[in-house]
Amino acid sequence: MPFYEYEVILENGEGGERFEVMQKMSDPPLTKHPETGQPVRRVISAPHIPGKYSEHAAKRALKNDKKLGELGFTKYVKTDDGRYEKRTGKGPDVISKD
């Protein structure tokens, strides 16, 4: 069963305390805090996907020029004289500031 994130709805309509509840996907969303009875709304947030699609793996892939090229990206690095030199991918070898 997945965890769902909720937040308390304050009197001015803004979000308050956040908490998580494990629910079946078929369960209706909560409308009241299970302990205090305050009104709540479900919060949409990014899922955590472990494994090769983790944030750590993404950062590691961005540092690897060969991997970026295989994924279809082109990477340029700025030089001291203001030009950009291609490290991987398709496109011109150099982009000048002119």
- pLDDT tens per residue, range 29-77: 999 999 999 999 999 887 766 666 666 776 776 778 888 888 888 988 8
Cα(85)–Cα(70) distance, integer angstroms: 18
pLDDT, residue 69, reads 85
pLDDT at 81 over 80: yes
- Taking Cα atoms as reference points, which of 43, 50, 48, 39 lies closest to residue 20? 43
Q: Which amino acid is at 30?
A: L
**H/E element, 8:** strand 3-9
Q: Taking the alpha carbons of 53, 91, 75, 46 in that order, is the dihedral positive or negative?
A: negative
Q: Is the pTM of this model over 0.75?
A: no
Q: How far is CA 23 from CA 13, 40, 42, 91, 95, in A?
A: 25, 15, 12, 49, 53
Listed range (11-15, 19-23, 57-61, 81-85) with the worst mean pLDDT: 57-61
pLDDT band at residue 95 under the 50/70/90 scheme: confident
pLDDT, residue 72, reads 87
